[in-house]
């Protein structure tokens, strides 16, 4: 198992810069007052493909040799990695095959197709996903870019925290959602060198709290098909992301479905930005644990903005 290094992250940043946005950091005096903290929202919902995952996907795609690139890339993903990889492959002009759960939001499926990705559907469980993917991979021979358990992807995701640290004047903590752990791992990778005093807090839905239970147990616990409104956070940790979570994460906090939806709606109302439910989990945990964050300078990573506007969770 190759553990990506700080230098890998720096090389990734140079490699992906032409294909990604340096996204803005927004603040909200209302949310600062409400939480008692100073919050700095890193808005990856404004990223290309509306997701931070374009960082890691672009690093993998543009790191391939011309020979490797010929057969294209392939992956399985609950959504944003699929469309990010499709975007990056499209920019390089190589094929991209993706296995997606048939239950993934239509907006994400449409976006994948819009970028030229080829979708094969599976059932919404880890086991079905892996089975269908093995078939697609064997057939196409494309380079497998795992959505998070891949050193190229983690090094790419780490570029987000590098920008965040440059855009703020020092942070006490960074809070990011945790699903498979790619963003959290990249955050740990970057901050452990660039800002070793900055705590990394992972935020997870109660209904998909496998990372929380893994963290407490000291080994990976994986659930097969958790149900949560935060559809980007259903996948389990893997060995590479577990390395970063177990060694560098300060704590994992959880929030209920109602808390996540309320934090999502509050952000739309007060900050006037469209973001996914997964991106609301950090704010939900901050609102639930105000004492812990009060008086601190807190980076919050808004991971993506791919929402089905016809199926908003507060209207169900």
Q: Given the rule CB under 8 A, which residues bind a second copy?
A: 24, 45-46, 50, 107, 265, 268-269, 272-275, 305, 309-310, 312, 314-315
Nearer residue to a second copy within complex by CB, 237 or 262: 262
Nearest approach in angstroms of CB 17 to a second copy is: 16
Identify which of 272, 269, 300, 271 has the alpha carbon closest to the alpha carbon of residue 284. 300
| Helix (H), strand (E) at residue 131 | helix 126-140
Nearer residue to a second copy within complex by CB, 138 or 309: 309
Contact residues for 32 (Cβ-Cβ < 8 A; gap 6+): 38, 39
Answer positive or negative: Cα dihedral of 93, 235, 48, 163: negative
In this structure, the strands spanning 143-144 and 118-122 are unpaired
| Helix (H), strand (E) at residue 73 | strand 73-76
Nearest approach in angstroms of CB 31 to a second copy is: 14
Nearer residue to a second copy within complex by CB, 51 or 202: 51
Nearest approach in angstroms of CB 28 to a second copy is: 10
Tokens at residue 167, please?
């855009």
Nearest approach in angstroms of CB 127 to a second copy is: 33
In this structure, the strands spanning 73-76 and 143-144 are parallel
Total length of the chain: 316
Nearest approach in angstroms of CB 215 to a second copy is: 31
CA-CA distance, 89 to 31, in Å (whole number)?
38
Nearer residue to a second copy within complex by CB, 27 or 127: 27
Nearer residue to a second copy within complex by CB, 42 or 129: 42
Helix runs in 182-256, H state only: 182-194, 210-217, 239-248
CA-CA distance, 202 to 187, in Å (whole number)?
10
Nearest approach in angstroms of CB 45 to a second copy is: 5
Nearer residue to a second copy within complex by CB, 1 or 309: 309
Nearest approach in angstroms of CB 278 to a second copy is: 14
Nearer residue to a second copy within complex by CB, 260 or 275: 275
């Amino acid at each position: 198992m190759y553990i990506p290094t700080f230098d890998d992250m720096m090389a990734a940043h140079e490699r992906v810069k032409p294909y990604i946005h340096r996204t803005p950091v927004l603040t909200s005096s209302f949310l600062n007052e409400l939480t008692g903290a100073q919050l700095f929202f890193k808005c990856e919902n404004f990223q290309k493909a509306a997701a931070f995952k374009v960082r890691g996907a672009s690093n993998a795609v543009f790191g391939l040799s011309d020979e490797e690139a010929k057969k294209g890339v392939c992956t399985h993903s609950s959504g944003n990695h699929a469309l990010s990889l499709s975007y990056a492959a499209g920019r390089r002009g190589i094929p991209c095959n993706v296995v997606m759960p048939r239950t993934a939001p239509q907006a994400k499926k449409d976006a994948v197709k819009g970028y030229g990705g080829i979708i094969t559907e599976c059932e919404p469980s880890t086991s079905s996903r892996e089975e269908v993917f093995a078939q697609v991979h064997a057939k196409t021979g494309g380079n497998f870019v795992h959505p998070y358990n891949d050193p190229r992807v983690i090094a790419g995701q780490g570029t987000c925290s590098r920008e965040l640290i440059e855009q703020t004047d020092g942070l006490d903590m960074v809070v990011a959602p945790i699903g498979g752990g790619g963003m959290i791992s990249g955050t740990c990778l970057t901050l452990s060198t660039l800002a070793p005093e900055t705590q990394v807090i992972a935020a997870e839905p109660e209904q998909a709290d496998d990372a929380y239970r893994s963290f407490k147990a000291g080994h990976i616990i994986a659930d097969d098909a958790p149900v949560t409104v935060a559809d980007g956070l259903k996948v389990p940790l893997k060995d590479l992301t577990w390395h970063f979570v177990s060694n560098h994460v300060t704590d994992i906090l959880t929030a209920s479905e109602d808390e996540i939806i309320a934090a999502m709606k509050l952000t739309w109302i007060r900050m006037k930005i469209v973001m996914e439910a997964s991106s609301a989990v950090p704010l939900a945990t901050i609102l639930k644990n105000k004492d812990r964050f009060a008086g601190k300078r807190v980076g919050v990573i808004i991971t993506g903005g791919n929402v089905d506007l016809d199926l908003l969770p507060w209207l169900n």
